[in-house]
Structure 1
């Protein structure tokens, strides 16, 4: 098994409905030099049994059963057991495009085995049966392959940070690189933090222009982190910001352009966290308002806004919306 090119990892918990579709999207590729690892994270709906049945059907599919630990701990377990030269993580309700592994295989050889290949995602709006209604290339501005092996190439780094490529795990990682780190298992944005950590130390990377990952967005809103409030968003987004600055400093690419991009991302995430509190936080109204007044403004937020009064305006608008929606619901 030492000559295996790809280890595909899928973490799954109680997703019997879609797991087989994900597996088939890999096993029907016109590419055989792979292993597929399914990590069953303590499922109780028959998903684990389905995975075992699929392993009988596909000889290069193996299943790891563990007690429920959450998705990123499952990623870590799969990575620990992988033997392929490269590792790719596929969510259990998504799919690979039919030519994905051929594209990746050619790209590895063409660009002399880069540490990471960042792969574009097609956002597939679909119904509950994964019938696709619309497809959106969420990085349509990337129209040609971009290869990096020079720390001074600021434009390529800027393109990478500005894209959506680093916000998920849908990328190809050299096993010798990915095994140096672990995904955090305490925030839903751990994949972005992981990519920022990886990017500090890689020697080469490639962005490929062809989308190979099909991310399914369900019209019933069943995607795990969409439409929810966890309570740690503020600290998580601050961690994104600090990790982004650390990446720039580590790679000596802390130009004004790139630093301002990191600040812009934190400002956008500030809006996102306020909206999450307004729309999805189930706490009593007075607790939400007190939290906004006392907890969302700190040194990080102060550092990313040139106009400090804009912070207060955004917080006040959020409070007004909360009070207004509370009045309308009575």
Structure 2
């Protein structure tokens, strides 16, 4: 296929339950100049055969099989094999409105933004919840991005932030290739954010569309409830990676501290769920909070008085830091 406008990349891992709905939402688009890349990331259910069946029935669909390396690796592989001028990421248990590509094409034709952000609905327990990102619809030039977007790119004092997910966005090919490939694959919580932050910092233009075109499925299982015995190590890698990203931008330093408080607390929950509160937990937490970046975030992050939830998380992290230092 030549002159493909959109490449839609779907990382697939044990997604047999919802994969067909995801793929069908792409095939049912009212705009037809696209390719769909399914990256089977070592699935052990029927997902690989479902992907192959779709590839055999539609020449616009390409299936790639790889050993399990994680979502970031799968996205990078899909991006490497893609040929579209613009890139979309779609998670295998989500789906998109049938007019997503048509709407995106119209906006691109008029404004040619580096990044297009559209709205989304959460689909939770059979109900749709419309999400408002609180961003004003319209076209943003670089100066507008610096004045209106960067103020809450990571997290403002009230806990608000720019949409962090890679999905529900359309990216110029060259821009997303440059920034996705920078993200360390060891990061498993916050990997989307690491890429999105870099991408927005390097974008010359942005378009915000309020139409809810992406359907984000939320089921009982979630990262915040799951365990990860390497959560502290991954958090430290993420902290250092983001610091390198924003180190020359004073606007983002205070935001970075707030974000790191949130990420460290989340890492502690996942670590505890994986191994419990034991000697290893204490030792690795001590190593995490001994890092100068993490220590500064815990001690210096400022949240508004209304932001009680994050203020409480900060207090818990401080208490934990004092507790382990006394051992």
Q: TM-score, normalised by structure 1?
A: 0.80
Of 125, 133, 140, 2:127 maps to 133
Matched-pair contact (CA < 8 Å) for 1:199–1:247: no
Question: How far is the alpha carbon of 1:161 from its aligned partner?
Answer: 3.4
Q: Is the 8 A contact 2:231 2:271 kept in 1?
A: no
Q: Quick one: distance in 1 between partners of 2:245 and 2:53?
A: 43
Over the residues paired in the alignment, what is the CA RMSD in angstroms? 3.1
Could you tell me how far apart the structure 2 residues matched to 1:307 and 1:168 are? 26
Cα distance in structure 1, aligned partners of 2:279 and 2:38: 44
Cα deviation per residue 1:253-311 (whole Å; 9 max; x = unaligned)?
523xx432222222222332333344x13246344344445543431133222399x99
Paired residues, number: 305
Q: What is the aligned partner in structure 2 of residue 254 from structure 1?
A: 250
In the alignment, structure 1 residue 124 sits paired with structure 2 residue 152: no
Q: Single out whichever of 68-77 and 85-94 deviates more from structure 2.
A: 68-77
Q: Which residue of 2 aligns with 1:142?
A: 135
Q: Output the CA distance in 2 between the equivalents of 1:263 and 1:185.
A: 23
Q: Which residue of 1 aligns with 2:51?
A: 51
| TM-score normalised by structure 2 residue count | 0.80
Please state if 1:272 is matched with 2:266.
Answer: yes
Tell me, yes or no, if the aligned pair for 1:40 and 1:64 is still in contact at 8 Å. Answer: yes
CA change 1:193–1:48 in 2 (3 A) is: same
CA deviation digits over 1:225-252, x for unaligned, max 9?
Answer: 34223244334444444444544455xx
Q: CA distance change for structure 1 residues 66 and 289 in 2, over 3 Å: closer, same or farther?
A: closer
Equivalent in the alignment of 2:324: none
Identify the range of structure 1 (266-275 vs 239-248) with the bigger mean alpha-carbon deviation. 239-248
State the partner residue of 1:314. 316
* Cα deviation digits, residues 152-183 of structure 1 (max 9, x gap): 83322224434342344442111122223414
Structure 1 ranges of 4+ moved more than 6 A: none
- Residue in structure 2 matching 1:230, options 228, 231, 235: 228
Q: What pairs with 1:62-73 in structure 2 (closer than 5 Å)? A: 62-73=62-73
Q: Which moved more, 1:18-27 or 1:196-205?
A: 196-205
- Partners in 2 of 1:242 and 1:186 — Cα distance? 13
The equivalent residue for 2:307 is none
Note the alpha carbon deviations across 1:10-34, whole angstroms, 9 max, x for none.
1112222211110011111111111
Match of 2:176 among 161, 170, 178: 178
1:16 is paired with a residue of what secondary structure? coil
Structure 2 residue matching 1:105: 3-state secondary structure: helix
Deviations 1:175-204 (A, max 9, x none): 122223414321213222222333343322
SS of 2:184 mapped into structure 1: coil
Deviation at 1:95, TM superposition (A): 0.6
With over 3 angstroms needed to count, the CA separation of the structure-2 counterparts of 1:152 and 1:68, relative to structure 1, is: closer
Change (3 A) 1:134 1:59: same
Question: Any gaps of 5 or more consecutive residues in structure 2?
Answer: 156-160, 303-311, 322-327
Distance 1:96 1:272, change over 3 A: same
Q: CA deviation digits over 1:56-81, x for unaligned, max 9?
A: 33331121222333222211111111
- Partner SS state of residue 37, structure 2: strand
Question: Aligned-pair distance for 1:100?
Answer: 1.5
